Amino acid sequence: MCSGAESKLYPKYMAKNKTVSLVLSSGGARGLAHVGVIEELERRGYAIGEIAGCSAGALVGGMYAAGKLPEFKDWICNLDRVDVFSLMDFTFSSRGFIKGEKVYQALKKVVPDQNIENLPIRFSCNAVDVNSGKEHVFSQGSLYKAIRASGSIPSVFLPAQIDKRNFIDGGVLNPVPISLISDPHSTLVVVVNTNSLAEHFLPPPRKKSIQKQSMNLPGWLMDYQNKMKAYFPEEENKVQQKRYSALELVTRSFDLLQDRYCQLLLENYPVEVEIKVSSNQAGTLEFHRAAELIEVGRIKACEALDRLEHGN
């Protein structure tokens, strides 16, 4: 059952399906649920032999493949709303309003960069080449360059520039990159979809938190803060009807297309286990809710794995 207690596993099933190929979808801050899923898989004795990630899934998957998930979790869970905001290097570019470099520079101090081909676990992630319009798979080279390219959300982050090529979020073409798994027939394929339907929403537990003192922002930053309301929705406004700005409409459209595309991809690639996290679970940039989202991932993984192991 879905509790902290050890689950009763079926030895015959585990002997046959001990190794997992893990597919981690895009989803912005919701992708932090991937951390909870990985922890639950490990707790139950599954061995993750390969990871394919997209956007936020590339970030979490890359940290795990590098053997640094505990360090990443400790870092991200200690960021509040002000910390997250301070890691956003704003720009006046029409291609996006966040450069997307500052946060990775901060993370590199916790988890140093390394080459993907040297990671102890097979890892790959995807991005989209802006000029060709084709999916590009990163399976070697700098881990952070790959993650930065995979998570370059259109209209939010500037495209990532690598070797004179511009890349945007892999979720544009392949938000659930099952196709990146090298041999899906030899392992148990587990897919974590954080762009699932509203019916899979899990009410988060209400916890009191100590907020840092508010900071005084210059006028131009206040303008960006207003734009970012789509990504940091206020709790009391989340269930109310709202009028969308042009930027919000673009982002909302991207989210809806991604949600639908995820469903279509999963219909074409039958998998043994799909762990579903609602696209309404958190805003795109609500990384200050890390601990809550990790717990959501753990609960969702527990439910899905119980069904698998108990034959329900």
User: CA 61 to CA 191: how far, in whole Å?
Assistant: 12
pLDDT by residue (tens digit) across 135-147?
A: 999 999 999 999 9
pLDDT by residue (tens digit) across 223-260?
A: 665 656 555 555 444 445 566 666 566 666 666 666 67
Closest CA to 137 of 111, 183, 173: 173
Share of the chain above pLDDT 90, in %: 63
Whether 169 is catalytic is yes
Q: Determine phi and psi for 283, rounding to 5 degrees.
A: -70, 160
Whether 89 is catalytic is no
205 burial level (CB within 10 Å; 0-12, 13-18, 19+): exposed
User: CA 206 to CA 278: how far, in whole Å?
Assistant: 18
* Dihedral over Cα of 80, 86, 92, 97: its sign: negative
Closest CA to 143 of 162, 168, 165: 162
The predicted pLDDT at position 237 comes to 44
Confidence of residue 222 (pLDDT cuts 50, 70, 90): low
Task: Of 98-112, 154-168, 220-234, give the lowest mean pLDDT range.
Answer: 220-234
User: CA 34 to CA 192: how far, in whole Å?
Assistant: 7
User: Choosing from 21, 26, 169, 259, which is the catalytic residue?
Assistant: 169
Residue 129 has pLDDT above 80, yes or no: yes
141: which DSSP letter? S
pTM over 0.75: yes
The predicted pLDDT at position 209 comes to 44
The predicted pLDDT at position 232 comes to 59
Q: Determine phi and psi for 310, rounding to 5 degrees.
A: -100, 5
Helix (H) or strand (E) holding 148: helix 143-150
Average confidence (pLDDT) over 258-283:
83
Residues 6 or more apart whose CB falls under 8 angstroms from that of 8 comprise: none
The predicted pLDDT at position 262 comes to 74
User: CA 294 to CA 38: how far, in whole Å?
Assistant: 10
User: Choosing from 26, 55, 124, 196, which is the catalytic residue?
Assistant: 55
- Token readout for 6 is 């050890």
| Kind of pairing between the strands at 165-169 and 135-138 | unpaired
- Token readout for 168 is 């945007």
79 C-beta neighbours (distance < 10 Å), count: 18
pLDDT by residue (tens digit) across 59-70?
A: 999 999 999 999
* Dihedral over Cα of 165, 167, 170, 171: its sign: negative
Find the length of the chain: 312
14-28: burial string, b at 16+ Cβ within 10 Å, e else: eeebeebbbbbbbbb
Task: Of 245-254, 279-288, 302-311, give the lowest mean pLDDT range.
Answer: 245-254
User: CA 262 to CA 256: how far, in whole Å?
Assistant: 10
Is 206 in a helix, a strand, or coil? coil
